[in-house]
Structure 1
C-alpha cells in the first residue's frame, strides 16, 4: 500500500512534466520534417517583418521586468545562535526539588512540592536544563534589576555569538525585532540591544510583548514583511527570549505551579537578509510564514493567562483545556498552510474526502494529509510532553519526526519562543540538514495562536561555532520513558 501511495504521489507531482514529454516529442518530429526551403522561408518572413519581431521582444522584456519587480524579495536566514548558559546554572530535577524544599513552611508547601515533583517526573525534562542566577539565590532575587540582568545575559550571549559567526558589523543592521512575553521594562528590550551594540540611529526597532511561546515566529513574520518592502538591501535581527526571575510563582494554585516545572532559561538570535548576494553564504530561505489566531473563542483566549491568585501572588495559569485548544489552533493553522505546501496528490485526496463528507454525507474520517511529503524536518515547540504528544498524533508523525522536539525539551526544557531554534540547532548538530530539505517550525502560544514558518535549506548545513549541542550531541537521542 505504501508503494502504491508513493507511486501516486510521484505521478501527480510530475504530471505536467510527464504530459510535456509527448508534446515535445511531437514538436521535435514536426521540426525534423521541415525541409531547408521551409526553414529559409521562415527566416525570410521574420526578416520582412521587423516591426512584429521588435514588438514581440518588447512585450517579452516588459512582461519579464514586470514579473521580476512584482515578486517579493527573497528572505534568507544567514545564521542563528542559541544561548548556552554557563555550567554553574545547570540544574537537575533533584536539585530543583532540594532548592524548593528550603522554603517549605507548612503542610500546603509540602503538598505543592509533591505536586511539582510529579510534574517533573512526567515532564520529559532531563537533569541538564538551566535556571537563571536570581532563582538559584537564597532567597530568590525577584527584582526588576535581577530580571534585566537575566534577560540581558541571554540576549547578549546569543547576539555576540551570532555577530562573530556571521562576520557582521552590528551597525549594518536596519531592522531589529525583540520578543519577550512576560518582561517588558522601560527602556524596552529592543532599546537595550540598540544601546549595547550602538546600532544606527535610523534603525527600525520593535518590541513584542505578551504574545507567548509563538512570538518567535511572529517576530520572523514581521521581519520578513519589513525586509520585503525595504528599498535597500539590508539585514534584520530577531531576538527571542523569556524571563523567569520575575515570574516564578510562589503560591499554591496548581495550574500556576505547572509553569514553574516546565520553563527554563534560554534565548536565540536570528540574522535575516534580503541581499541577493547573501544567498551563497546563507543557511536557509524563508518560504512561508503563516499566522492564525483563535482568540475570538473565550476558552482559547483564557487557557494561558498571566494573573494573580486569590492571595495576590502572580503567575502564569495553564488551563486543563490547553491540549484541546492547541489541537484546535493547529487545525486552523494547517487549513491555512496546507494549500501552500502540500503536493497535488495530497490536495486531491483531501478534496475528495471533503466532497464525500460534505455533499454525499459519507461516514468516513477526516483525511489527515501526509505532511512528510511536504517536509523533511519538523520543529514542534517544546512546550511540554503533552503538547508534543498531541501534535505527533494530530499530524500522524513518527517518533523520529519529533525527536528534535523531545530532545530539546529533555536537554533545555521549555525555553518559550526560542525552543524551535534549539531544535533546528539539534538537527544541524546531527548533520541531518541537507540541501533542498524543507523545515516546518510550529509554535503555539497564549491568545491562543498557532504560527508556522517554512524554510528550505540552501546547502548541506553544518552547525555554526558554539552550537548549543556542541558538547553533547553524541549523547543524543536519549531514551525517555513516556
Structure 2
C-alpha cells in the first residue's frame, strides 16, 4: 500500500494589479442621463466595497467591444506577471525551491491560453520537467476548493508539494451595453487578483500549517439558472440572480453539519470561518443560516471592503488574512465555504497543525 502523507497548506502569496478604482468614482463614469445610473449609485452605496484592484483601467481602455480572442491574449499578458509575483511570495514564505514542486494546479475562470500561465511559471521559475500540471477552469467563485482537494490528494500520495495558483481578471470581461440590473451589479462587484497556495506534507518550520481534512459539495440543479458564466463573442457574461443568497442559505447548514459530523464535530468546534466574499447578501446568508456570531464573518467583510469580489481567489484571500491575524491553534478546526454556478456550494474543513 502506498504511503499516505498529511496535506497541509503552509503558505499563501497574494498579488494585486497596480490599478486601483474607488467605488465612489464608478457612477461618475456614466453620463447623467444614463438610464441605469440611479440604480448603479444604489448598488455602489450598499455593496460593502471601498475599492477594487483592476488589471485593465476602464477609463484608459474601453474593453467592452473587444473580441473574446483579444481578451484572452490580454489575459496572458496580465496574468503571468501577476501570478509570478504571487508564486514568488508563497515560495519564499514556505522556504521551498521551485523544483521542489510536484504538481502545479492553475485555476481561472476568466482566461484560457495554452501554452499559458502554468507553462510560463514552470519555465520562468525553473521547475522540474516532471512537474505535473492540471488546470481547473470555468467553475467560478468556488473553484479554489475543488482545486485544493486535487492538490491535497496529490500530496497524500506523493512525497512532493503542490502549488495552486488562482488568477482572476474579471475586468477583462466588462460587457457592452445595454445593461440590465444584473450586469450593473456584476460590473460593480468583481475585481482582479492572484493567489498562490502551497500544499505540502511537511510542517512549515517556525510557522503555521492547515491540514486539509475534508471537502464536500452540494449542487442545486433546480436553481442552476440563478448563476451563469457564459462565453460570448464579447468576452464572458455573468448572470447573477438575487435568489442566490436564499438558495445558499437553504443548503449550507445541512452540508456543513454533515461535513463536521463525519469528524464528530459541530458548529461550536469551528475556530474560524472563511466565507467567500461574494457580496454582503451572500455573507449574511451564510452567517444567518449557520446561526453564527456576526463577528465570525468580519474578515470576509474586510476582504470584500478592501478588494471586492475576486472570484476564485476571494476565499483564499480570506484564509490568508485569517491565518495572518488569528492562525488556527494546533488541533482547532476552520471551515472555508464558497459558491458559484451550478448552483454549487463547496466547503472545506481544515485543522491547525
Q: TM-score, normalised by structure 2?
A: 0.89
Match of 1:284 in 2: 209
Match of 1:444 in 2: 339
Contact preservation (8 Å) 1:134, 1:146 = no
**2: CA distance, partners of 1:281 / 1:77:** 14
Match of 2:245 in 1: 323
Which of 4, 7, 24 is the aligned partner of 1:94?
24
Aligned length: 347
Larger Rg, first or second structure (1 or 2): 1
Which of 96, 102, 114 is the aligned partner of 1:168?
96
Contact preservation (8 Å) 2:86, 2:195 = yes
How far is the alpha carbon of 1:266 from its aligned partner? 1.2
Match of 1:119 in 2: 43
In structure 2, the gaps of 5 or more residues are none
**Going by fraction, where is strand more abundant, 1 or 2?**
2
Residue 76 to residue 92, structure 1, CA distance change in 2 (3 Å): same
Contact preservation (8 Å) 1:188, 1:207 = no
Indicate the SS of the match to 2:36.
helix
Which of 172, 181, 191 is the aligned partner of 1:254?
181
Tell me which of the two structures has the higher relative contact order, counting C-alpha pairs closer than 8 angstroms and 6 or more residues apart.
Answer: 2
How far is the alpha carbon of 1:91 from its aligned partner? 1.7
Residue 241 to residue 70, structure 1, CA distance change in 2 (3 Å): same
Offset from partner CA, 1:297-324 (integer Å, 9 cap, x none): 232x221112379x97852010232112
How far is the alpha carbon of 1:285 from its aligned partner? 3.3
Indicate the SS of the match to 1:202.
coil
Contact preservation (8 Å) 1:291, 1:451 = yes
Contact preservation (8 Å) 1:81, 1:162 = yes
User: Counterparts in 2 of 1:427-442, with a 5 A limit?
Assistant: 427-431=322-326, 433-442=328-337
How far is the alpha carbon of 1:376 from its aligned partner? 1.0
How far is the alpha carbon of 1:131 from its aligned partner? 1.7
Contact preservation (8 Å) 1:211, 1:446 = yes
**1: CA distance, partners of 2:22 / 2:253:** 36
Match of 2:170 in 1: 244
Q: CA RMSD in A?
A: 2.5
**2: CA distance, partners of 1:421 / 1:162:** 13
Match of 1:77 in 2: 9
| Alignment of 1:146 onto 2:70 | no
Indicate the SS of the match to 2:270.
coil
Offset from partner CA, 1:82-105 (integer Å, 9 cap, x none): 11433xx1221122333x32xx4x
**Going by fraction, where is helix more abundant, 1 or 2?**
1
Contact preservation (8 Å) 2:105, 2:151 = yes
Match of 2:108 in 1: 180
User: Counterparts in 2 of 1:358-373, with a 5 A limit?
Assistant: 371=267, 373=268
Which of 261, 271, 274 is the aligned partner of 1:339?
261
**2: CA distance, partners of 1:162 / 1:308:** 32
**1: CA distance, partners of 2:229 / 2:245:** 18
**2: CA distance, partners of 1:217 / 1:390:** 19
**2: CA distance, partners of 1:379 / 1:445:** 15
User: Counterparts in 2 of 1:20-419, with a 5 A limit?
Assistant: 72-86=4-18, 89-98=19-28, 100-101=29-30, 104=31, 107=33, 110-127=34-51, 129-140=52-63, 142=66, 143=70, 144-230=72-158, 233-251=159-177, 252-275=179-202, 278=203, 280-281=205-206, 283-295=208-220, 297-299=221-223, 301-307=224-230, 315-343=237-265, 371=267, 373-419=268-314
**1: CA distance, partners of 2:235 / 2:87:** 34
**2: CA distance, partners of 1:214 / 1:403:** 20
Indicate the SS of the match to 2:317.
helix
Contact preservation (8 Å) 2:49, 2:308 = yes
**2: CA distance, partners of 1:135 / 1:153:** 20
Residue 287 to residue 432, structure 1, CA distance change in 2 (3 Å): closer
Contact preservation (8 Å) 1:79, 1:282 = no
Residue 77 to residue 138, structure 1, CA distance change in 2 (3 Å): closer
In structure 1, the gaps of 5 or more residues are 1-68, 347-370, 459-482
